[in-house]
Amino acid sequence: MEFKVNSKELEKLLSKIIPAVPTRTPMPILENFLLEVKDGLLTVYATDLEISLKASINIITDENVKLVVPARLLNDIVRSLKDTSIYFKLTSNKKVNLITDTGKYVISYLDPEEYPDIPSVVADKDTKDIFEASINGLELKNAFDKIAFAMSKEEMRPAMMGTLFDFSEEGLRFVTTDGHRLANLLKKDGKFSFVQQYVVPERAISVLSKLLDEKEVKMLLTKTYVSFKLSDIELITRLIAQKYPDYTSVIPLENEFLLKVKTKEIHDSIKRMMLFSTTSTRRVKFSLDKTMVEISAEDLDIGASGEEKVECEYNGEKLEIGFNSTYVNDILNHMSDCEEIIFKLHSPTKAVIIEPVEKKENQDLMMLLMPVRLNN
């Protein structure tokens, strides 16, 4: 059995698959690629049991074979080769010879039966309720960039460790929260005839984010996993099997006071005030007035304090409200492309909504932040 591939093509393929290979895992089999040659197609699989990646290239061969080879070794050797042809030649003693014009490399391979099953959404005919959706790759990447930061790292509420994909007639809504802040982005360009919620784990989001390009992404959604089909690679992730908390119930409806500020100005000011906020609470205080918001912070431990004034437009009563400056900074970091933003408030103890003034076409972005109590 032998087949031939171009080293650069294979390198490109492997470099996309390798992120799914776990390091220092108690299951050594996962540190391998599964190579499948079938009907003139070489498909490479990798999985960490949570996410799986697979990609294919065309090769010339008549035979079919499956083998499991050490992922990093294969990746490293292929990466270090110049543009050349590699012949894969299987020998009887469970070795695969990689032969180039100038070299020969021998790698042991394992039986494919030992490799975990890679879920395949299409082949899974028994699964009812398979839904399909598609979205532009860059749009999806942009959505992840905006909202992924608010995913929780707290294991006690596993659902919040992922991103909610909420499909409805309105469009596709992405929600993340850790209980202190919430990021909510609605993509209105596609309408969906089904109403379904899927919680995609953090690892899938971060790996996928690096793979996305301007091409269309096809999503196949089942109760157990979601497959993201990109032009040249497929990512299949298992979902988090827990119901996402009802995020709509925490979004306040009566926030009538509006504070409009320039994003960059308030962000710069917050960055400076972070230097003066107490390390334990990271608290900053916003004192709101008609045309000016005063932002102040105080670190009693080292006896330092700071205050700044930022121009604003505010239509409510005088109000003092405290926030965790790290969270404000996170939110502003992810809204830096909006020139102006609006804070919607009600009282010093109610959640605050932060939105861009100029909404993008077909996209609603909303951040929600819980205030912290001020001592007075």
Partner 1 sequence: MNEFWDNVTEQYDVKKILEEFIKRKRVPHAFIFSGQEGVGKFNTALQFSKYISKEFDSSSQIILKKINSLQEPYVKLIFPLPRGKGETAEDSATEKLNKDQIDLIHNEMKFKAANPYHRINIEGANTIKINSIRDINKFITTSFSDIGFRFIFIIDSHMMNEQAQNALLKNLEEPPKGIIFFLLTNEKNKLLPTIISRCWNIEFNPLSVMTIKNILINYHSITEKNADLIAQFAKGSLTNALGLFNADIADTLARTISFLRYSIGGRFYSAYREFNEIVNVKSIEDFRKIISFIKLWLSDVNRNKYSEGKYYFDDYSDILSKFNEKYSKSDVDNVFNSLNLLEELSKKNLNLNVLTLNLIFDLASLAIRK
What is the contact surface with partner 1 in residues (CB under 8 A)?
23-29, 49-50, 113-114, 116, 119, 124, 127, 153, 155-156, 158-159, 201, 223-225, 238-242
Cβ within 8 Å of residue 126, ≥6 positions away:
none
- Beta carbon nearer to partner 1, 83 or 129: 129
Q: Are the CB atoms for 41 and 118 separated by under 8 Å?
A: no
Q: Which two tokens stand for residue 290?
A: 């008609």
- Beta carbon nearer to partner 1, 158 or 252: 158
- Beta carbon nearer to partner 1, 199 or 331: 199
Nearest distance from residue 221's CB to partner 1, in Å?
A: 12
- Beta carbon nearer to partner 1, 191 or 223: 223
Q: In what order do the strands lie in the sheet with 32-38?
A: 65-70, 32-38, 41-47, 51-58, 234-238, 225-229, 216-221, 131-136
Nearest distance from residue 113's CB to partner 1, in Å?
A: 7
Q: Counting Cβ atoms within 10 Å, is residue 373 exposed (0-12), middle (13-18) or buried (19+)?
A: exposed
Helical axes 7-17 vs 71-80, angle rounded to 10°: 140
Nearest distance from residue 161's CB to partner 1, in Å?
A: 8
Cβ within 8 Å of residue 322, ≥6 positions away:
283, 284, 285, 286, 348, 371, 372, 373, 374
Nearest distance from residue 242's CB to partner 1, in Å?
A: 6
Helical axes 325-333 vs 263-274, angle rounded to 10°: 140
Nearest distance from residue 104's CB to partner 1, in Å?
A: 27
Nearest distance from residue 177's CB to partner 1, in Å?
A: 17
CB atoms within 10 A of CB 226: 23
- Beta carbon nearer to partner 1, 119 or 348: 119
- Beta carbon nearer to partner 1, 69 or 266: 69
Q: In what order do the strands lie in the sheet with 363-369?
A: 196-201, 162-168, 171-177, 181-187, 363-369, 352-356, 340-345, 257-262, 313-314
- Beta carbon nearer to partner 1, 154 or 213: 154
Cα–Cα dist 85/66, whole Å: 21
Q: Counting Cβ atoms within 10 Å, is residue 136 exposed (0-12), middle (13-18) or buried (19+)?
A: middle
Nearest distance from residue 120's CB to partner 1, in Å?
A: 11
- Beta carbon nearer to partner 1, 241 or 250: 241
Nearest distance from residue 246's CB to partner 1, in Å?
A: 18
Cα–Cα dist 227/237, whole Å: 6
